[in-house]
């Protein structure tokens, strides 16, 4: 596994399978914030959630929103969630904003879509891309006796007390029209 001086890096055996990437670079939200805080010029936080999530759920103050998927506004009853479709402009947009060796910390809601985004970036030649394994909202509490059972109240950027906002800086959003095709992530 590649590690970078002064950075956090979790071993792959501590990362759930659905959050693992081909680059094997993992940080928690707290570690990501520490990396950015130590070098805000060289380290970029990329939020790959939908624009709706970025705006209405909130986001790290410094995070650039480049959506990897869009909401198709169709309900998937089997998965109990909205259908997502790939953003065909994701890689071109990232290439227009960053160089392949730039240090990128990628986040989504809970670490699954960010892992998919990291793999796409790696295939496009990016080599220094970490996934924030607990994302913005964190993991679900898995305790049937808890009033928070099933809620995303465990770890994550928000639950770690890190700075975040609902305020939108249009300069940090990379908007692309949503596609109409059926290119769902799986």
Domains within the chain, CATH numbers bracketed: 12-172 (3.40.250.10)
Q: What is the pLDDT of residue 4?
A: 43
* CA–CA separation, 67 and 20 (whole Å): 19
8 Å CB contact between 71 and 50: yes
50 pLDDT higher than 80: yes
Average pLDDT over every residue of 70-92:
92
Rounded percentage of the chain residues whose pLDDT exceeds 90: 73
Mean pLDDT calculated for residue range 37-59: 96
Q: What does the block give as tokens for 146?
A: 């808890």
Distance of alpha carbon 113 from alpha carbon 106, whole angstroms: 9
In angstroms, the CA 117 to CA 123 distance is 10
C-alpha distances (whole Å) from 92 to each of 61, 89, 122, 185 are 24, 5, 13, 18
pLDDT, tens digit (0-9, with 9 covering 90-100), for 130-147: 999 999 998 877 889 988
The pair of structure tokens assigned to 129 is 């891309």
């Amino acid at each position: 596994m590649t590690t970078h001086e002064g950075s956090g890096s979790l071993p792959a055996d501590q990362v759930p399978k659905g959050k693992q990437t081909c680059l094997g670079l993992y940080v928690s939200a707290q570690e990501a914030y520490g990396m950015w805080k130590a070098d805000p010029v060289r380290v970029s936080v990329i939020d790959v959630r939908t624009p709706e999530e970025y705006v209405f759920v909130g986001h790290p103050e410094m995070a650039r929103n480049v959506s990897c998927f869009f909401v198709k506004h169709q309900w998937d009853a089997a998965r109990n969630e909205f259908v997502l479709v790939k953003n065909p402009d994701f890689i071109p947009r990232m290439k227009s904003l960053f160089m392949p060796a730039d240090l990128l910390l990628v986040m989504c809601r809970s670490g699954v879509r960010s892992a998919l985004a990291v793999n796409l970036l790696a295939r496009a030649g990016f080599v220094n891309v970490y996934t924030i394994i607990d994302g913005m909202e964190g993991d679900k509490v898995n305790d049937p006796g808890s009033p928070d059972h099933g809620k995303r109240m465990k770890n994550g950027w928000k639950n770690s007390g890190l700075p975040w906002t609902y305020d939108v800086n249009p300069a940090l959003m990379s908007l692309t029209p949503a596609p109409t095709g059926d290119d769902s992530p799986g």
